[in-house]
Amino acid sequence: MSGSTEVRVRVRVPAKVNVQLAVGAARADGFHDLANVFLAVGLYDEITVTPSDTLRITCEGPDVSQVPLDGTNLAARAAVALAERHGIDPRVHLHIAKDIPVAGGMAGGSADGAGALLACDTLWKLDSSQAELLDICAELGSDVPFSLLGGAALGVGRGEQLTPIDVGGGFHWVFAIADGGLSTPSVFREFDRLAEGTAVPTPVADPALLAALRTGDAVALASALTNDLQPAALSLRPSLADTLAAGTTAGALASLVSGSGPTTAFLTKDAETAQQVAEALLASGTCRTARVAPAPAPGATVVERSAR
Ligand code: C5P
């Protein structure tokens, strides 16, 4: 409808798991060079944007008390960054329906940043190219570009320079969600502390892992999963070892900490096993809740737009 005014746009954005997270030594700017293989998984946040007198944020979901509702929220920062580029006022209400664990190592905050960016771009009819949006995403945070893109990708630099990876089949995951979050900077600091006095190798993507994604081979992927932040997350939260063991005992092909944690991730051979592993994890009492999720999942997607 030409000349119509968008009044409401809703965007769905996936969580991620890092199937390989190779971490290099700390750089002069405090970040770490990574070889970061992202896989988007089917747990989603939804961002709804509507016009408003001022920029404001509301949130619903189980972890709502931990979500900042001020200008520090990545969704607010995304709206401000996009508006600044186009010389407009970011006068919107951003509502976040939050299903991705907060501070869980699954890029939930990054998802909200990418989602708000696409939602505002659509509401304001800016029609930005994907390259322009990815550029703003990279300013917002290392994981935000991948939240926009979805699927699977190798991220280098601090994780924001992406090369998409074709995935040859679906994977079945279970995520055990812990009580309370872990701060990403403190997990990287613990990584640095544990690495003190050792030569940290340059991070490189594992060809066997990339091949497993390309062929959709769950068994090969399971044997290639690695996360260099796992020892740091376990050092800060030793009880995660019990969750990892419970999932493996219940029949997962492999288990690992998701990103900086404390969510733990379990790859299974099929959907039925994923359900069984989720039930066993819940019964083990080693996590707050357990969720099954397929992968790969699409990136940020407009699922509703209303105009008048
Ligand atoms: O980029 P983002 O704001 O998500 O990063 C959060 C924090 O995680 C950084 O301030 C830094 O402490 C750590 N980080 C890092 N190296 C990366 C990505 C993140 O040290 N490649």
Q: Over the stretch 137-168, which tens digit does the pLDDT of each residue have?
A: 999 999 999 999 999 999 999 999 999 999 99
Catalytic: 127? no
- 88: Cβ contacts below 8 Å, ≥ 6 apart: 124
Could you give the CA distance from residue 144 to residue 81 in angstroms, rounded to a whole number? 13
pLDDT at residue 213 greater than cutoff 60: yes
pLDDT digits (tens, 9 = 90+) for 277-293: 999 999 999 999 999 99
Protein residue with its CA nearest to atom 10 in ligand 1? 185
Could you give the CA distance from residue 96 to residue 87 in angstroms, rounded to a whole number? 25
pLDDT digits (tens, 9 = 90+) for 214-232: 999 999 999 999 999 999 9
Ligand 1 pocket member 161 (CB < 6 A): no
46-50, 178-182, 265-269, 294-298: the lowest-pLDDT one: 178-182
What is the residue type of 66?
Answer: Q
pLDDT at residue 202 greater than cutoff 50: yes
What is the residue type of 133?
Answer: L
Could you give the CA distance from residue 222 to residue 225 in angstroms, rounded to a whole number? 6
Ligand 1 pocket member 228 (CB < 6 A): no
Class of domain 6-166+297-307: alpha beta
pLDDT at residue 3 greater than cutoff 70: no
Report the C-alpha dihedral over residues 64, 67, 71, 77, rounded to 10 degrees.
-110
Determine the pLDDT at residue 5. 78
Q: Are 191 and 235 in contact (CB under 8 A)?
A: no
Confidence of residue 1 (pLDDT cuts 50, 70, 90): very low
Q: Are 223 and 254 in contact (CB under 8 A)?
A: yes
Ligand 1 pocket member 141 (CB < 6 A): yes
Can you give the residue ranges of every domain in the chain? 6-166+297-307, 171-295
pTM of the predicted model, to two decimals? 0.97
Closest among 123, 115, 142 to 52, alpha carbons compared: 123
Determine the pLDDT at residue 277. 98
Protein residue with its CA nearest to atom 8 in ligand 1? 185
Indicate the length of the chain as a whole number: 308
| Site to substitute for ligand 1 among 184, 186, 192, 227, most atoms within 8 A of C-beta | 184
Q: Are 162 and 148 in contact (CB under 8 A)?
A: no
Q: At what angle do helices 108-123 and 74-86 cross, to 10 degrees?
A: 30
Q: At what angle do helices 74-86 and 130-140 cross, to 10 degrees?
A: 130
Class of domain 171-295: alpha beta
Rounded mean pLDDT of the chain?
A: 97
Alpha helices in 197-239 (DSSP H): 207-215, 218-224, 230-236
